[in-house]
Chain A
Amino acid sequence: MLITRRAEFSASHVCCQSSLTPEQNREVYGSAANPSGHGHNYVLEVTLEGEPDPGTGMIFDLKKLKEIIQQAVVEPMDHRFLNYEVQPFNEVVPTAENVAVEIWDRLKPHFAGAPARLRNVRLYETEDLFVDYSGRD
């Protein structure tokens, strides 16, 4: 069975590579390459997979899941400029793909030995653009 918990955070970013010209960056990243940056209301959906515990009837304690997401992702990223304030985005381009992988890597250790396994991270950058990551490129 799958359970999904949703969280939101607002952050700014800029997508560009210093090795490319402004024109090349615009071609690759579109308006996301605007040098001053811009923001999104990111929506994160974290999906766990497991079987309900026969006693509690729960796959995983949702209060605990909420706390994990809050501490691992929302607190460090909410109302931040990702490129300047959240590592590794001082060196890694904070595309939706890379942010989703970073979120996965931050969440994954919290489920070591847990009754449920981390199954999928879906990150909406906007209502019209989202990525799904399940641990492997």
Chain B
Amino acid sequence: MMRVTRRYRFAASHRLHLADLSEEANRDLYGKCNNPFGHGHDYILEVTVAGPRDAATGLVIPIPSLDKLVYEQVLQDFDHKYFNVDVSDFADLVPTSENIIRVIEGRLKESWNAAFPGTWPRLDKIRLQETKRNSFQLIESEITK
């Protein structure tokens, strides 16, 4: 089995705030990320796909097809947006990177079988880098079947 990893970028802003906590408790919990006006990051998204090489094409996955799926399911909705306001998934969900990566997983899985109908290629890993110092990843065993 071989793994292919493709890296994508999007810029977005967010604010970490829970409505049922006091202003002070939110500041204690989320620190600067609780700033009322939000703040932004240049996120890096890495999508890893696993499978055998197709005998004819020599590919595990046609990259244009993966790019199209990731663009349509994630990038076009997330890039240059304010998560809390512009992306409906976060209307009632605090846009921590942990929650963002699960939303990305759900969005990719939703269209995966239509885009890639066979057993392979499989979604193997998702990694989301919020800053150079913070990254989050879901490995294969954690990805919802």
Contact = CB atoms under 8 A, between A and B. Distances in A.
A133 B53 CA distance: 11
A132 B47 CA distance: 13
B17 to A, nearest CB: 33
A120 to B, nearest CB: 10
B1 A137 contact: yes
Contact of B57 (A93, A131, A134, A136): A93
B64 A96 contact: no
Given A30-B63, A129-B63, A97 B53 contact: yes
A92 B67 CA distance: 24
Interface range on chain B (Cβ under 8 Å from partner): 10 to 19
B62 interface: yes
A17 B56 contact: yes
Interface in B1-22: 1-8
A98 B5 CA distance: 15
A81 interface: no
Interface in B21-71: 52-53, 56-60, 62-64, 67
Contacts of A95: 53, 57-59
Given A28-B57, A28-B59, A131 B7 contact: no
Given A129-B7, A132-B2, A97 B60 contact: yes
A97 B59 CA distance: 6
Interface range on chain A (Cβ under 8 Å from partner): 20 to 34
Contact of A129 (B2, B6, B53, B56): B6
Nearest to B2: A133
A83 to B, nearest CB: 12
A19 B2 CA distance: 25
A137 B2 contact: yes
Contact of A98 (B52, B58, B64): B58
A21 B34 CA distance: 54
Contact of A28 (B6, B52, B62): B62
Given A30-B63, A128-B7, A17 B57 contact: yes
A28 to B, nearest CB: 5
A132 B5 contact: yes
Contact of A130 (B5, B52, B53, B56): B5
Contacts of A19: 56
Nearest first, the 4 A-B pairs at minimum CB distance are A128-B7, A93-B58, A95-B58, A30-B64
Interface of A: 15, 17, 19, 27-30, 32, 92-98, 100-101, 127-134, 136-137
Given A130-B4, A131-B60, 12 more contacts: A15-B58, A28-B59, A28-B64, A29-B62, A30-B63, A95-B59, A97-B2, A129-B6, A130-B5, A131-B5, A132-B2, A137-B1
